[in-house]
Structure 1
Amino acid sequence: MIAPILALVLAAQTAPPASPPPTSDASPEAEIAAVLDTLHASAAGADGAVYFNVFTPDARYIGTDASEHWTVARFRAYAEPYFSRGRGWTYGVDARTITVADIACRCVAWFEERLHNTGYGETRGSGVLRLTDGGWKIEQYVLSFAVPNETAGPVVRVIAAYRAAAPAAAEQAAEGEADAAIDELDAGFDRAANASERQAEAAAATAPR
């Protein structure tokens, strides 16, 4: 019995070490691009489980509305009711730039991307990712509108008019007149937009030629 056991021990000692687990040959930039592609694809497919898995637990999402400065938990509370009804959002990627920080760990990166959306037209996405034990995860994502400088003035005036109408609309909603409040906000938005257009036309008409 001793000889067979000794042979097994010797064989184990002289056997080549086990191969390490396979690693990805993809560059950090390619891995990050895949994470961002997953973000957009899962949003379009209303797949909340996949969508929120690309964020770190303490990530931030900054949306287009001034109030949308959300933790992942708050963002999930907002988005899950839409996802549960099969309603997502679709942003196509037109261009993207990814930069991995030039530090020893190569574990921090940032990006900016040019997007398009059926309702909002051209938009921007930007943010920061961190390399975790589970791969690259988004620490912060910022979605913003691309407003041409020439239209910034009228856009700002429309926003100001909208905010001025908000308190009255909120009071109406509190009295159970939510539909009327929304209609009033929409009407105010239209009036402000029309006024801005008339101002621009008047300025153009009186400008020296």
Structure 2
Amino acid sequence: MKKTLLACILSLFTLAAFAQPSDPAAPYTKQINAFIDEWHDDAAHARPAYFDKMAKHGVYIGTDKTELWNRDQFKAWAKRFFDKGSAWSFKATKRNVYMSADKKFIWFDELLDTQMGVCQASGVMRKTDKGFEIEHYQLSIAVPNPVADKVTKTIKDFEAAPSAK
């Protein structure tokens, strides 16, 4: 009996020695992911809270070269979509979250499943007394390298056309 008990205790110590330490930031990262997921869901359901999650002077950069807005400009541009009751639907398929040592500044990158196909984005958030707010978000369409030449040619041809000017 003593040998069995000793073997069990030694097994537990061995397992503990090889166990990975838990990530102390994991609960905070979970909150951050939930906030970003909710932000995307707010857009999908055209909830005004979408814009409330952006900092007053926050910046949104869309996929078109003309799409560089502060929060209020972005809200005005998006009004036509939000008035319909559904704007755009972005679902993160992968996200990396990073933060400053004091956890007040957060930056992230994400791959998104969207109506445009696969997109990628990066963002910067700040933790305030009221919660998180998005300071900067940049969206881009993920162009596979094998078709990049075709895409850039299409863009160059479009921009060279008189109607593009």
Moved over 2 A (4+): 167-170
CA contact (8 A) 2:37 2:91 kept: no
Higher strand share: 2
* TM alignment of 1:182-201, pairs within 5 A: none
Question: Which runs of 5 or more structure 1 residues have no equivalent in the other structure?
Answer: 1-25, 171-209
Letter in 1 for 2:142: A
CA RMSD of aligned residues (A): 1.5
Higher helix share: 1
How far 1:75 sits from its partner (Å)? 0.3
TM-score (norm 2): 0.80
SS in structure 1 of the partner of residue 76 of structure 2: helix
CA distance in 2, matches of 1:116, 1:169: 29
Aligned position for 2:104: 107
CA contact (8 A) 1:28 1:100 kept: no
Q: Percentage identity across aligned positions?
A: 37
TM-score (norm 1): 0.63
SS in structure 2 of the partner of residue 27 of structure 1: helix
* TM alignment of 1:17-166, pairs within 5 A: 27-47=27-47, 49-102=48-101, 105-118=102-115, 120-165=116-161
SS in structure 2 of the partner of residue 65 of structure 1: coil
CA contact (8 A) 1:35 1:137 kept: no
CA deviation map 1:18-74 (0-9, x unaligned): xxxxxxxx8321221121011110111011x21001111010001000111111111
CA deviation map 1:116-146 (0-9, x unaligned): 123x111112110001111111101111111
When Rg is computed on C-alpha atoms for both structures, the one with the higher figure is 1
May I ask how many residue pairs the two structures share in their alignment?
A: 140
Question: Which runs of 5 or more structure 2 residues have no equivalent in the other structure?
Answer: 1-25
